[in-house]
Chain A
């Protein structure tokens, strides 16, 4: 991704589709990614806790905060399975972000299908299960 001043910024997109708010425990790893020059964006169902939100570069809400299936036309889709995952990470505002990301990270188990699918669409991105593994791979 190219900034307005011509510099290239790398982007890490974290995906969380679980029912718990992304926690402060992720903060240290987010800060490490930022220290390495990454913009860190969260795509999540539930808003992160404030102490995590303050170190993120942005957050995109997807799915329903209370959980459950998504109504798409006459279909009910589960975002934890592939068809629903496609809607939440490739559709709406999350789509362009995911397609341009350099790193895609599933920060909880429910996000694994979504991030796997995103990696099929954005083949140049590193796609990782777990933020610690992403941090260690980028060092």
Chain B
């Protein structure tokens, strides 16, 4: 029982970490809080669902396709809403407000066209077989989740640490003006970061959609609550913090569902968020910085 709860916790923790990674990346590098991020989660899952249904293709093919498509959507949204604000050097909260409006707009457009009914992947897309190790059961889709999450994280870390593009991204995060002076094409790098974030959000959406096999437009909204919790616990803009906080949240949710009450599961994240704000507002690994004019 305990082992199974822990495994389930790690699996949802891996998706939370993956989801929060894109969110914290946008905040850390682009210095905007982009609330449309929850929409990417839903969009990714919906595109994958329709592609799988329509072309009767394997999920292994539609997953990357839908992730890339959502990444492109994220670039368009960034270009339309956030680039103008950045150019005006608008305050952080302006980005929050504009993306909040856009989120409501996009969610209600999606529901206007496809409704709020829960949709499912065709049975053929999901392999129901599972492996059993002792008393622990892990399904194929859960293995896909953990595998994809680890692969994406490894790729991202390699990109950030080992390439010139990663260096440019880190320079942009440090100081956009200085990065520009050092020859970084800020616009291009900004779009690239949006693309990567959109891809990460969409991948998390597809994986969660596969795991629970229940997809509808507002699914990203509930996920945003976990996203906020993870990035605040891990520290805003902190990649390592987001990974660890995601896993912690998944594990604690699993244990709460198993040993306390499954209805309380979704409140765990918020409780941790409030506790973090009270006792360690900089997050797990953060250090305090003064706000300057």
A and B from one assembly? Answer: no
